[in-house]
């Protein structure tokens, strides 16, 4: 069965980091760098579903770790990403052929503004589903159910592509056809994946 709609994850599927932002974050403290970065990632989770302001959470972590970095310095790595032009072209080719293409990504509001408002991701997709807007995040099945409700396409006619196995499992749990793909495998691997689902690329 050919998919009527394709949901694309962002990080690791359509976009990649431009610098080693893990190293940058680790450099914000003199010791226990890995623990500090884990603390930052944990602090970001509530922001992914819109419960807190990520800047405030980031400031709390910096103070707790007695880092001398400012929030503006610490948040900069969240801007260090770029979309893969060939993947964007594939999405436009699918849309031109009548296939709905939607962005399905976990992001806090700060990064959402960069993607949607500054870099124009909204123009690449029929709809964009940011977790911070929905109040739900992958791999929660409720996240996918809400997308299905909005796009009004049967789950069996939707393909979801993500680089995280847990997210793929979450989508499959509600009947969506989901595939694991990482941009590091190369764009030809994505083309082959889409062709396996009889999509016109």
Label residue 70 by pLDDT band (50, 70, 90): very high
The predicted pLDDT at position 2 comes to: 79
Given a cut of 80, whether residue 1 has pLDDT beyond it is: no
pLDDT at 114: 98
Within a 10 A sphere around the Cβ of 109, how many other Cβ atoms? 17
The pTM (predicted TM-score) of the whole model is 0.96
Phi-psi region of 181 (alpha: psi -120 to 50; beta: other; left: phi over 0): beta
* SS3 labels along the chain: CCCCEEEECCECCCEEECCCHHHHHHCCCCCCHHHHHHHHHHHHHHHHCCCCCHHHHHHHHHHHCCCCCCHHHHHHHHHCEEECHHHHHHHHHHHHCCCEEEEEECCCHHHHHHHHHHCCHHHHCCEEEEHHHHCCCCCCHHHHHHHHHHHCCCHHHEEEEECCHHHHHHHHCCCCEEEECCHHHCHHHHHHHHHHCCCCC
Q: What is the pLDDT of residues 82-127, one digit of tens each?
A: 999 999 999 999 999 999 999 999 999 999 999 999 999 999 999 9
Residue 51: pLDDT band with limits 50, 70, 90 = very high
Contact 132, 125 (CB under 8 A): no
Nearest to 14 by CA among 118, 84, 108, 100: 84
Q: To the nearest whole number, what is the mean pLDDT of the chain?
A: 97
pLDDT of residue 123: 97
Rounded average pLDDT over 13-38: 95
């Amino acid at each position: 069965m050919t998919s009527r709609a394709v949901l694309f994850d962002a990080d690791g599927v359509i976009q990649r980091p431009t610098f080693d932002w893990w190293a940058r974050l680790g450099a914000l403290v003199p010791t226990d760098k890995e623990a500090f970065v884990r603390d930052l990632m944990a602090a970001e989770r509530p922001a992914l579903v819109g419960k807190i302001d990520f800047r405030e959470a980031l400031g709390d972590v910096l103070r707790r770790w007695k880092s001398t970095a400012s929030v503006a310095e610490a948040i900069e790595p969240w801007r260090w990403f770029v979309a893969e032009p060939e993947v964007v072209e594939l999405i436009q080719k699918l849309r031109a052929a009548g296939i709905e293409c939607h962005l399905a990504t976990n992001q806090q509001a700060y990064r959402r503004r960069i993607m949607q408002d500054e870099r124009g991701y909204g123009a690449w997709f029929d709809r964009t589903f940011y977790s911070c807007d929905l109040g739900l995040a992958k791999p929660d099945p409720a996240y996918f159910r809400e997308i299905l409700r909005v796009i009004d396409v049967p789950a069996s006619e939707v393909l979801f592509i993500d680089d995280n196995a847990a997210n793929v499992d979450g989508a499959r749990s509600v009947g969506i056809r989901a595939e694991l793909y990482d941009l590091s495998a190369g764009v030809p691997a994505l083309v082959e994946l889409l062709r396996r689902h009889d999509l016109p690329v």
